[in-house]
Amino acid sequence: MGPEGLIKACGSLQSHMTSNASSISQKAALAALQSDQSALGEMIAEYKWRANRLRDGLLEIEGVSCAMPGGGFYLFPNVSRYVAAGGTTNELASALLSEERVAVVPGTAFGCDGHLRTSFACSRERIEEGIRRLQRFFAARDVS
């Protein structure tokens, strides 16, 4: 709420600030692309290791399936076996956070209930700890 002229001016300013990449962002991207790329191979190898390790840990949980991502740093395991009858992955994600302190995003946020989005954009140590917690959480819910 405010004077109409001020609101219009703010709207115009907001549009120009958020609709396009700023000039400083463009220059930073150009500098990054023109700089030494030798570390990129190491980074890619590290993220492949993290993705593989987390996926392997998830696949050790009975009834969980998980494809490798085509890009990004997320896995999207199918945990539908552990979703209570009539429940959603929202409840499962909430319980996982509450009981094991592991944050995931429920698949319902992506229109795909029965899945959880997990990230491997963290250290190897955190991935190993996360795997232990995930395995403990799902073992306690064995639905054989």
Sheet with 116-119, edge to edge strand ranges = 74-75, 116-119, 105-106
pLDDT range class, residue 96, cuts 50, 70, 90 = very high
Contact 50, 127 (CB under 8 A): yes
Enumerate domains of the chain plus CATH numbers. 4-34 (no CATH), 38-139 (3.90.1150.10)
- Does pLDDT of 131 surpass 90? yes
Q: pTM of the prediction?
A: 0.76
pLDDT digits (tens, 9 = 90+) for 1-38: 788 888 888 887 776 666 777 789 899 999 989 998 88
Phi, psi (deg, nearest 5) at residue 74: -130, 150
- The rounded radius of gyration (Å) of the Cα atoms in the chain is 21
How far apart are alpha carbons 68 and 75 in whole angstroms?
7
Phi, psi (deg, nearest 5) at residue 51: -65, -45
What percent of the chain has a predicted confidence (pLDDT) above 90?
Answer: 67
